[in-house]
């Protein structure tokens, strides 16, 4: 069995996001490090935090990364050794940990540095917009001459734009007039994956240069690059792309396609939320796709993984 492990980006944070992993002994060190970085224990804090607090850029990136890392640690050897790993936006940093390239504590500290670089490069009036029902070429035309650009290309004529809020509001109105079935803001406060954050890419590349990164992923692991969907075979080149991802569009549809081409028999999103599992299920309905948020216990996740393993050996 080849499992496609999907590491989520910002947007799905919620009060119960650590219900399955918060008490897992294997994740205790991760929560201790996150507590140091956040200034409070995230397991308790998410239950009382307001929406704006949950979606503040640095906090959101740390919470989502912590969720992926704690889930991978808690599931341990229940995750098959043959795997594809892909991360959506900040989830790509978590994917490098899941693939065995960056240590867990280093990953959390790296994400904090990434978020700080993005905040420093941001103009303060930026955001993101989800559009469904228009092809990328049409959306690109809507962005022409405006302070906005495509940030993420998802399957099924769906994409995320980023840029100045005023420009995004104008594009949303025009997109609906052009036949888009949906055009709604995304709860992210920076213009991720666009030219507006070029300075953050440079700063983040400096942070990456100071980090110990393994020479190759775990045996049996195929790590995918967000900006082109290709496998990371050359670590140095992969590091460069990881930095560029902050200011270049994420080709998420290509990442999912690469998982399927590599023989993925199932998708598991580590969460929070189930946006990535939903996209995978919609694009590839014959391949089972679940999110950690679908389950009531880690045992339930383990049983589902075992069932997929058995199904593919039958």
Q: For residue 314, what pLDDT band results from cuts at 50, 70 and 90?
A: low
The Cα 191–Cα 172 span in angstroms is 16
CA distance 46 to 22: 12
CB 203 within 8 A of CB 117: yes
Show me where the domains of the chain are located: 3-121+195-313, 126-186
The CATH fold of domain 3-121+195-313? Malonyl-Coenzyme A Acyl Carrier Protein; domain 2 (3.40.366)
| Helix%, strand%, coil% for the chain, nearest 5 | 50, 15, 35
Cβ neighbors of 12 (< 8 A, separation 6 or more) are 64, 271, 272, 273, 274, 275, 293
Give the list of residues 6+ apart from residue 50 with CB closer than 8 angstroms, or none: none
282 within 8 A of 155, measured Cβ to Cβ: yes
Count of other CB atoms within 10 angstroms of residue 102 = 23
Q: How far apart are CA 98 and CA 69, in angstroms?
A: 7
pLDDT band at residue 313 under the 50/70/90 scheme: confident
What tokens appear for 4 in the block? 């496609």
C-alpha 90/C-alpha 47 separation (Å) is 22
* C-beta separation of 173 from 161 below 8 A: no
Classify strands 158-164 and 148-154 as parallel, antiparallel or unpaired: antiparallel
Looking at the structure, give the CATH architecture of the domain made up of residues 126-186.
2-Layer Sandwich (3.30)
Mean pLDDT, the chain, integer? 96
Q: Is residue 17 scored above 70 in pLDDT?
A: yes
- CA dist 247 and 152 (Å) reads 11
Distance CA 25, CA 171 (A): 47
Q: Quick one: pLDDT at residue 119?
A: 96
Q: What is the pLDDT of residues 229-286, one digit of tens each?
A: 999 999 999 999 999 999 999 999 999 999 999 999 999 999 999 999 999 999 999 9
Does residue 312 have a pLDDT over 80? no
Q: Over the stretch 157-216, which tens digit does the pLDDT of each residue have?
A: 999 999 999 999 999 999 999 999 999 999 899 999 999 999 999 999 999 999 999 999
CB 173 within 8 A of CB 185: no
Say if pTM beats, i.e. exceeds, 0.95.
Answer: yes
How many angstroms separate the CA atoms of 107 and 170, rounded? 37
CB atoms within 10 A of CB 307: 12
Rounded-to-integer distance, Cα 191 and Cα 208, Å:
21
> What number of CA atoms fall less than 13 Å from residue 287's CA on the CB side?
24
């Amino acid at each position: 069995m080849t499992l496609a492990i999907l590491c989520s980006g910002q947007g799905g944070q919620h009060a119960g996001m650590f219900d399955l992993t918060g008490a897992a002994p294997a994740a205790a060190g991760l929560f201790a490090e996150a507590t140091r970085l956040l200034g409070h224990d995230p397991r308790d804090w998410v239950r009382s935090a307001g929406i704006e607090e949950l979606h503040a850029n640095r906090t959101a990136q740390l919470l989502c990364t912590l969720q992926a890392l704690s889930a991978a640690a808690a599931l341990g050897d229940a995750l098959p050794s043959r795997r594809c790993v892909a991360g959506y936006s900040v989830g790509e940093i978590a994917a490098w940990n899941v693939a065995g390239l960056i240590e867990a504590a280093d990953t959390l500290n790296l994400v904090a540095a990434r978020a700080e670089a993005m905040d420093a490069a941001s103009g303060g009036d930026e955001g993101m917009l989800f559009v469904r029902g228009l092809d990328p070429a049409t959306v690109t035309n809507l962005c022409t001459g405006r302070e906005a650009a495509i940030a993420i290309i998802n399957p099924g004529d769906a994409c995320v734009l980023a840029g100045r809020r005023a420009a995004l509001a104008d594009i949303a109105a025009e997109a609906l007039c052009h036949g888009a079935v949906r055009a709604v803001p995304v709860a992210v406060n920076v213009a991720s994956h666009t030219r507006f954050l070029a300075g953050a890419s440079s700063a983040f590349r400096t942070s990456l240069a100071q980090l110990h990164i393994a020479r190759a992923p775990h045996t049996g692991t195929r790590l995918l690059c967000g900006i082109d969907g290709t496998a990371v075979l050359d670590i140095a080149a992969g590091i460069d792309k990881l930095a560029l991802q902050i200011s270049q569009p994420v080709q998420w549809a290509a990442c999912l396609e690469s998982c399927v081409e590599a023989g993925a028999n199932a998708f598991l999103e580590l969460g929070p939320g189930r946006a990535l599992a939903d996209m995978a299920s919609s694009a590839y309905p014959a391949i089972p796709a679940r999110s950690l948020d679908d389950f009531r216990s880690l045992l339930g996740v383990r049983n589902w993984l075992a069932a997929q393993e058995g199904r593919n050996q039958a």
